[in-house]
Structure 1
Amino acid sequence: MNFTVQFTTRWADFDANIHMRHTAYNDYAAESRLRYFNKFGITIHDFTKEKVGPILFEENTKFLKEIHLGEDISVNLKITGLSEKGERWKIQHEVFNSQGKLSAIINVYGAWLDLAKRKLTVPPLKFQEIFKDAEKTEDFKEILLKRE
């Protein structure tokens, strides 16, 4: 299943060089992940109720093409890795400018955190299922975890 979000950029997203500031790319990627969760009925209220939230270990951004002041963008979400129970995940976001040109690739490696114990956890079943039908990249790999 393809998932892409269209965004209208804001004045605050741009720097003195009149192109999108580097951290704005990552902000839009984070927003697209939250909208993806919401599409599957997982909201901030579910994080609180289940005492589980997403965390990131790594975030890597490759900049390819400038996005200029006034341009709208689109950001997609693809899975590059997933553990058996969905407790760890790797997501790739591609950011496209208003002409549809690939402008950045953002890769994140994350997991689910038990908010009470402050430890990594296997998420509730509802959370486990959200990535199963997501679009996968060609180089998708299962994330193997040590099981005790």
Structure 2
Amino acid sequence: MSFTVQFTTRWADFDANVHMRHTAYNDYAAEVRLRYFKKFDITTVDFAKETIGPIIFEENTKFLKEIHLGENITANLKVLALSNKGERWKVQHEIFNEAGKLSAIITVYGAWLDLKKRKLTVPPTRFYEAFATGEKTEDFQEIELKSK
């Protein structure tokens, strides 16, 4: 299942070079992730009820093409990797400019944090299923966790 969001960019997204500032790409990717969970009826209220939240270990952005002032963008989410219980995950976002040209690829490696214990945890089934049923990248892999 493909998940894509279109955005109208804002003046604040652009820098003195009149192209999208580097951190704006990551802001849009974060918004895509929240909207992705919303598609599965998972909101920040649910994170609080379950006392669990997503955390990020690593976020890499590869810039390919400029996005200029006034352009609108499209961003997607694909699952790049997932552990067998969903404790850890990697997602990939592709950001496209208004002409549909791939402008950036953002790779995010994260996990679920128990907000009371402040330790990594296995997510509730519906949180896991959000990633397990999502569109996978062509090079999708299972994340193997080391035994303690």
Determine if the TM-score, normalized by the shorter chain, exceeds 0.5.
Answer: yes
> What is the aligned partner in structure 1 of residue 85 from structure 2?
85
- 5 Å-filtered alignment, 1:91-130, equals 91-130=91-130
> What is the aligned partner in structure 1 of residue 9 from structure 2?
9
> What is the aligned partner in structure 2 of residue 45 from structure 1?
45
1:124 deviation in Å?
1.0
CA deviation profile, 1:9-48 (whole Å, cap 9, x unmatched)? 0000000000000000000000000000011011010010
1:147 deviation in Å?
3.4
RMSD: 0.7
Look up the SS of the partner of 1:131 in the other structure. helix
> What is the aligned partner in structure 2 of residue 67 from structure 1?
67
Alignment pair present for 1:34 and 2:11: no
1:132 deviation in Å?
1.4
Alignment pair present for 1:20 and 2:15: no
1:125 deviation in Å?
1.1
**Aligned residues with identical type, % of pairs:** 76
> What is the aligned partner in structure 1 of residue 139 from structure 2?
139
Distance in 1 separating the partners of 2:132 and 2:145: 17
Distance in 1 separating the partners of 2:89 and 2:139: 14
Gaps of 5+ in 2: none
TM-score, length-scaled by structure 2: 0.98
Q: How many residues align structurally?
A: 148
1:100 deviation in Å?
0.2
1:146 deviation in Å?
2.1
Distance in 1 separating the partners of 2:79 and 2:126: 17
Distance in 2 separating the partners of 1:124 and 1:106: 26
CA deviation profile, 1:60-106 (whole Å, cap 9, x unmatched)? 00000000000000000011100001110000000000000000000
- The runs of at least 4 consecutive aligned structure 1 residues that moved more than 3 Å come to none
The one-letter code of the counterpart of 1:141 is: Q
The one-letter code of the counterpart of 1:65 is: K
